[in-house]
Amino acid sequence: MSNEKTTSNSGKRTQDKSSAPYSDPQLAAGGELHQIAGGEHPILTTNQGVALADNQNSLRANPHGPTLLEDFILREKITHFDHERIPERIVHARATGVHGFFELTASLQQYTTARILTEVGEKTPVFTRISTVAGGAGSVDTPRDVRGFAVKFYTKEGNWDLVGNNVPVFFIQDAIKFPDLIHAVKMEPDRGFPQSATAHDTFWDYISLTPESMHMVMWIMSDRTLPRSLRMIEGFGVHSFRLINDAGKSTFVKFHWRPKLGLQSTIWDETVKICGADQDYHRRDMFDAIAAGNFPEWEFAVQLFTQEEADKFPFDHLDATKLIPEELVPLKVIGRMVLDRWPNNFFAETEQVAYCPGNIVPGIDFSNDPLLQGRLFSYIDTQLSRLGSPNFHQLPINAPKCPFGNQQRDGHMQMEQTAGRVAYEPNSLSDTSPRESPATGFHSATIPETGEKGRIRAESFADHYSQARQFYLSQTGYEQAHIASALVFELSKVEHLHVREAMVGHLRHIEENLAKRVAAGLALDKLPDAPAAAAPVKEMKPSPALQIIGKMKDTLAGRAIGILIADGSDGAVIEKIKKAAIDAGATVKIVAPKVGGAKRADGSMLAAEGQLAGTPSVLFDAVAVILSDEGAKELSLECAAIDFVRDAFGHLKAIAVDKGGQTLLKAANVGRDAGIVDSNNTGAFIAAAKTRQWEREKSVRTLA
């Protein structure tokens, strides 16, 4: 494969036909990805004025090798980025954290010595933090965004931090590009907006120049980034790690979390309205579930494979923009996680918890994934900045629950009072000071490394479109339409035409019809040319495991039903629906025009958990409308009631109605379909409430 080089700072790219290693997928497209405005540009340098020849690749021992500590360019760039915000996290600032436990159900003893993965039945305390990426701590819960999924295991052998996302891939292949990615997605520095949103020029400009991001683009434009609840998302370790057994043999592993409640997402219009109705929607949902004893639970699964098996994959597993399809390497469920206790103090725990991917235990080790390699340095550096002390591990939320001790002393906010004259190792003056333990201590995998060091990427990292295409083709037709519509919405917010055109060009490599749908939605006069690909696009078998709709569970567990009432509503019907929903596992809220509730038909008072104006239907998975004739007449003149049923219909939810409810539907100009059921037929309502009425969508909105 030819290697591309930048010959000037004008943004123009020329081909070098030498046989040098593949060095830069961003520049390997064979010509301009899109014309960068302006003439000659200043030379990019370090803070010391050293000109950079390569700002895309960190320094590695060889194309597949580990990142080298001597890479002063990477360290300077990441260090500066890590210290940009004090004290809020630069990314993952908005979060919900919960205590719980992990229980191993199947041993991996043949693969690892890590006791947490070998002692079946053992329960290990955990603290799990689920977060948005782009917004600040004061942003909302429900933007279109990746969710961080970080778990701190307080094991018998020390803390293990599995720090991942609810998406199994990432935007970039090399950690040196992370500051640029986040600078692009964050609010634009000259205007301070938009907050927690990708629908703006700087993000899509960067993405249009970074073909390696195209797989991740499919994920973020899918419904995966619009979760219904934090209890209904998957979690992924993203990178390949290694397990090491007692013979020193290593096996590659990828980690997965699968929610017991199954996957469920919202619809974009619904998401926007939830944001206005309850900015703390996800956090409140988690709090309420735990308070009610409905503890969220996830299966813990692994994909295990050898180097020999990895060599046969049609992609490189060390590339964080790639996943391993379940059909290729099946998941093995080995445990479960239950979250059962809310923090006593949000700041002390959720805010001060410090996760570091470098926190592992004996029997687990790292791979040479260049994104992971950079994270091993970056996380501890950013925690030093954010928490202000190298002693942040002494904070209760961060401290191991097993014995620990070393010769590290003093420092800002030192809370331990160590005694004695010895603060070094080895020593002969103390019989009680900690010593290294060759027999039981941590051992790295013994992996030979050969080759020439350089700022290079392996040839196997060059394919940027095949898995993006596989993901898109694996979705149901409804989900494909949502991806296309999301792209139209996002790119419609981009002011620069050449950026919109460049993105549509990339989509042509993913799926031609997708590109046409987005181009039509953007009213482009013609379909833009696709950039030359650095590697041929492979045809990979669709993977149904990548869907959401196809994986939704036939259950109401964890879902919420809203019942709209007014004075004169039939109490018996209300109680019948409420009982059926609760028996099916749902929670039920009564919504009335006034917070005090409403009088039943028999004159008795029925309390309400929500007042109509502040409890719209977007907060529920399905609704029932039980009204007297007089109540229906009054609510037909109330816009909040009209919106309640109109939005429920537009968001494809099941609606149970009695005669008065039908009157309100008519006033809202809501038609009838299979998802509108008679309130007396509770069985049909419960069945319909377990899913969305997908066939309805074509009648209520225009999708790309």
What are the catalytic residues?
A: 92, 165
Query: Is the Cβ–Cβ distance between 129 and 353 less than 8 Å?
Result: yes
Q: Tokens for 300?
A: 């813990």
Distance of CA 87 to the CA centre of its chain: 23
Determine how many CB atoms are found less than 10 A away from the CB of residue 683.
Answer: 9
How far apart CA 423 and CA 440 sit, in angstroms, is 22
Q: What is the DSSP letter of 193?
A: B
With CA atoms as reference, report the closest residue to 537 among 472, 459, 465: 465
Distance of CA 287 to CAs 199, 349, 351, Å?
Answer: 30, 15, 16
| Exposure b/e, 36-45, CB count within 10 A at least 16 = b | beeeeeeeee
Alpha-carbon torsion 111, 113, 114, 118, what sign? positive
Helix or strand holding residue 656 (H, E) = strand 655-657
**Do the bridges between strand 605-606 and strand 655-657 make them parallel or antiparallel, or are there none, so unpaired?**
unpaired
Phi then psi dihedrals of residue 43, to 5 deg: -75, 135
How far apart CA 243 and CA 252 sit, in angstroms, is 6
How far apart CA 250 and CA 52 sit, in angstroms, is 37
How far apart CA 261 and CA 552 sit, in angstroms, is 9
Q: Tokens for 9?
A: 């700072």
**Do the bridges between strand 297-305 and strand 250-259 make them parallel or antiparallel, or are there none, so unpaired?**
antiparallel
